[in-house]
Amino acid sequence: MELDNVMLSRMLTSMTLAFHIIFATIGVGIPVMISIAEFVGIKKNNNHFLLLARRWARGFTITVAVGVVTGTCIGLQLSMLWPSFMKVAGQVISLPLFMETFAFFFEAIFLGIYLYTWDRFKNKWLHWLLTIPVMIGSSASALFITTVNAFMNTPQGFELKNGKAVNIDPIAAMLNPSTPSKVFHVLTSSYMTSAVLLAAITSFAILRGKRSIYYRSALRLTMICSLVFSLGTALAGDVSAKFLAEVQPEKLAAAEWHFETESNADLILFGTIDENNQIHHAIRLPGMLSFLAGSSFDKKVIGLDDFPKDETPPLWIHYMFDLMVAIGSFVIVLSLVYLIAWRAKKFSEWFKPILWGIAAAGPLSVLAIEFGWIYAEVGRQPWILRGYMKVADAATTGQGVGLTFIIFAILYFILAILTCVVLVRMFKNKPAEAELEKRFNH
Ligand code: HEB
């Protein structure tokens, strides 16, 4: 592997995105969780849930701040590292890029009001109402920025004449074919990951001996949300796979190690592949790929052999796809087991293996987000704008990308440590029970 400018630019962009996506995902999902907790708290007149909303909101302010920093890094690096891409795409797709910023400000304003008006309203519902614009703002930023990514996969709304974009239709560019399935999957997976992360933190606290009603309520609420949102994520993932089969078949084929166009195509799970594309040690589910791609075993699934060799994505994305799906299935099963244990009271919801499973599901869901994005982005290769421009032709020719990479790596490392330290400090000396006592029982 040669470390030329293209490679270095890709490394720097990947690193920034991989780091940013953690905060972006939390940023989209946590407002929804805060809103649900406060809603339940007011509805049931239960202070435990109100305190949950309050503590989550407090932690959220930190991750939002970091998300702003890393998001700004992306903006800078896009124009710095991919000038030819930005010259073409910038004109066509600048509308949602701008709207994203607007949505973020909208969210930030209402988040500010929300944080400063606890206990200020006579009618508690008025305070809860403020979560709605916050949720709209954060989910709308995800929507807008995802349309830009969708555009890279299925560009439309312009013509390319002598390297210049003409006849630009920004709305058509935004509403490109990838937009619906991607937005759906990005939103559901963000909600899911946030619910699972909060469940994991709670579960970890319980494992360390905190068995008060506060933690039990938190775990029940977050696990119900985990189930609902993980089912939503699976549904959206299924929609995405069917979409790929129609519109971006090479991405699906590469992920599934599917070479020959055929109906009744097998689904291949894990395994290894050699240089002659022979697959070993895999689990083969007969006909399942056709079924996934088109809800019928007769569905013809386009294979990689139909594409020129230099226009097929790398085959290792197979593992990214399989791991993402495996984690998603794990979370669904785990939430079901937990909820059954709780409702049926046949075995304890404090059963340690379940609690450890939930604690592990948090980091695993974040990994699923990373795997999902790696799959989606590497699966677009070699294109930066599918059918129009290749990644190799879009990178900067400027000097110093290597050094910039090192500087940003250090920056992210420090930011990651600081975020953890601040978050731990924020809650460490403020046990929930004491706070409950102080706030509600004076
Ligand atoms: Fe996912 C991506 C499917 C789960 C996260 N996904 C993706 C894709 C597909 C899928 C097909 C591609 C798309 C495009 O590119 O357009 N998934 C799926 C399935 C499942 C899943 C089938 C099962 C269940 N995911 C999942 C989970 C998660 C995820 C669990 C987390 C949590 N993904 C993801 C992401 C991404 C993906 C983040 C990137 C974005 C898009 O959409 O693309």
Count Cα neighbours of 157 within 13 Å in the Cβ-side half-sphere. 25
In this structure, what are the phi and psi dihedrals at residue 269, rounded to the nearest 5 degrees? -105, 130
Closest atom of ligand 1 to 238 CA is: 22
Burial of 427 from C-beta contacts in 10 A (0-12 / 13-18 / 19+): middle
Please tell me the chain's helix, strand, coil percentages from 3-state DSSP, rounded to the nearest 5.
Answer: 75, 5, 20
Closest atom of ligand 1 to 243 CA is: 16
* Cα 187–chain centre separation: 7
What separation in Å is there between the alpha carbon of 192 and the centre of ligand 1?
Answer: 12
What separation in Å is there between the alpha carbon of 238 and the centre of ligand 1?
Answer: 8
DSSP code of residue 312? S
Calpha distance 303→262 (Å, rounded):
7
Closest atom of ligand 1 to 234 CA is: 24
Ligand 1 pocket test, pick from 240, 322, 371 with the greatest ligand atom count within 8 Å of Cβ, gives 240
Encoded tokens for 376: 């989606």
- For helices 213-247 and 5-44, the axis angle rounded to 10 degrees is 130
Place of tokens 């809800």: 295
Calpha distance 59→62 (Å, rounded):
6
* Nearest CA owner, ligand 1 atom 18: 237
In the chain, what are the domain boundaries?
Answer: 1-178+388-432, 191-247+249-379
Predicted pLDDT of residue 439: 78
The Cα-based distances of 269 to 234, 275, 279, 319, 325 in angstroms read 17, 18, 10, 9, 10
Predicted pLDDT of residue 142: 95
Q: Is 232:188 a contact under the CB 8 Å cutoff?
A: yes
What separation in Å is there between the alpha carbon of 287 and the centre of ligand 1?
Answer: 21
Name which of 1, 21, 138 is nearest 375 in CA terms.
21
DSSP code of residue 301? B
What separation in Å is there between the alpha carbon of 210 and the centre of ligand 1?
Answer: 35
Encoded tokens for 303: 């294979």
What separation in Å is there between the alpha carbon of 372 and the centre of ligand 1?
Answer: 5
What separation in Å is there between the alpha carbon of 12 and the centre of ligand 1?
Answer: 23
DSSP code of residue 166? E
Predicted pLDDT of residue 1: 57
Ligand 1 residue neighbourhood (C-beta within 6 Å): 153, 178, 181-182, 185-186, 189, 192-193, 233-234, 237-238, 240-241, 244, 251, 324-325, 327-328, 365, 368-369, 372-373, 375-376, 379
Place of tokens 């993402």: 324
* Nearest CA owner, ligand 1 atom 35: 372
Model ipTM?
Answer: 0.90
- Strand ranges for 359-441 from DSSP E: 383-385, 389-390
One pLDDT digit (tens) per residue for the chain, 442 residues: 567 888 899 999 999 999 999 999 999 999 999 999 999 999 999 999 999 999 999 999 999 999 989 998 998 898 888 888 888 888 898 899 889 989 999 999 999 999 999 888 888 999 999 999 999 999 999 999 999 999 999 999 998 888 788 888 999 999 999 999 999 999 999 999 999 999 999 999 999 988 888 999 999 999 999 999 999 999 999 999 999 999 999 999 999 999 999 989 999 899 889 888 888 998 999 889 999 898 888 999 999 999 998 899 999 999 999 999 999 999 999 999 999 999 888 778 888 999 999 999 999 999 999 999 999 999 999 999 998 888 988 888 878 888 999 999 999 999 999 999 999 888 887 887 788 888 776 5
Encoded tokens for 1: 């592997």
